[in-house]
Amino acid sequence: MKKFIFDVDGTLTPSRKKIEHEFWAPFLIFCRNHDVYLVTGSDRKKTLEQLGLDICYTCKRVYNCSGSDAYERDVNVYRDDWELPKKVERFLEDELAYSCFPIRNGLHIERRPGGVNFSILGRGKDAFEGREEYVKWDKERLERQDIADRLRNAFPDLSVALGGQTGLDLGPLGSDKSQILRDFNEDDELHFFGDRMEEGGNDYSLAVAVQKRCGFAYNIENYTKTWKLLSKYD
């Protein structure tokens, strides 16, 4: 059976923003006509904010927090209550203190079911304050990749992936997006759409796992590409 799996941020929506109006209705119709699943590093509240109830309730299942918190409509199918180890928390606090990036905006260690999101910039009331500056900073200095590499070396039992444009997704080893495949049959024809399929990105593990099953992984450079790809499945 053909099944479609979508990342959210950067794949269906602009980063951290709501789905654009002209894509909302066509995608809702697509969800009604196909078996659609969502998998995102964000929590349920943010996913509902970006896509709305109609889309989230029409999908077969919504995997929040990289698959550690799953919903079918308003039913919580399962949730992983992993706690961040104190030694990892201290490591992140040191990274925050050592970083020379000058803008700080709200919460830096965001606890989610099954993991945490760490951001030097932080997540404040204004989700976009300092975002452009940090994206440019990170592209020039590769700060997130450097932190991720040192985390993996210091804590081999930790899963670390670049999440979105400003954060890192952390959880126990095996808690990346590929964990959702436990809910799919071996003979399912899988089509996965994501924007962070480079090694170290939070779509990488699922893309590799899907392709090992002879499925299809579509690397989305810009969310508007998703709209064009879906037109061939009408």
What contacts 209, CB < 8 A, 6 or more positions away?
A: 178, 181
Domain regions of the chain by residue span: 2-80+175-233, 86-172
Question: Tokens representing 44?
Answer: 């349920």
Q: Count the alpha carbons within 13 Å of 18 in the hemisphere toward its beta carbon.
A: 9
Nearest partner of 134 among 105, 111, 97, 170, judged by Cα? 105
As a whole number of angstroms, the distance between CA 157 and CA 173 comes to 5
DSSP-derived letter for residue 100 is -
Active site residues: 7, 9
Check residue 161 and give its pLDDT.
92
Burial of 186 (0-12, 13-18, 19+ CB in 10 A): exposed
- Tell me if 95 sits within 8 A of 71, measured CB to CB: no
Tell me the pairing of strands 35-39 and 61-64: parallel
Q: Of all helices (H) and strands (E), which one includes residue 153?
A: helix 143-154
pTM score above 0.85: yes
CATH number, span 86-172: 3.30.1240.20
Q: What is the pLDDT of residues 161-200, one digit of tens each?
A: 998 889 999 999 989 999 999 999 999 999 999 999 999 8
pLDDT of 135 > 90? The answer is yes
Q: Which residue has the higher pLDDT, 98 or 127?
A: 98
- Tell me if 44 sits within 8 A of 64, measured CB to CB: yes
Q: What is the pLDDT of residues 146-164, one digit of tens each?
A: 999 999 999 999 999 998 8
Strand partners, 70: 63, 78
Q: Can you name the CATH fold of 2-80+175-233?
A: Rossmann fold (3.40.50)
Q: Which residue has the higher pLDDT, 96 or 16?
A: 96
Check residue 102 and give its pLDDT.
94
pLDDT of 96 > 90? The answer is yes
Strand partners, 13: 9
Mean pLDDT, residues 59-81 taken together = 96
pLDDT of 218 > 80? The answer is yes
Check residue 125 and give its pLDDT.
63
- 3-state SS assignment for residue 120: strand
As a whole number of angstroms, the distance between CA 98 and CA 102 comes to 11
Check residue 223 and give its pLDDT.
85
Nearest partner of 114 among 154, 159, 153, judged by Cα? 159
As a whole number of angstroms, the distance between CA 169 and CA 37 comes to 20
pLDDT of 234 > 80? The answer is no
Measuring CA to CA, how many Å separate 203 from each of 38, 192, 194, 209, 218? 12, 9, 6, 10, 10
Check residue 231 and give its pLDDT.
83
**Residue 126: which pLDDT band, with cuts at 50, 70 and 90?**
low
Mean pLDDT, residues 92-96 taken together = 97
Q: Which residue has the higher pLDDT, 152 or 127?
A: 152
pLDDT of 87 > 90? The answer is yes
pLDDT of 124 > 80? The answer is no
- Tell me if 25 sits within 8 A of 58, measured CB to CB: no
Percent of the chain with pLDDT over 70: 98
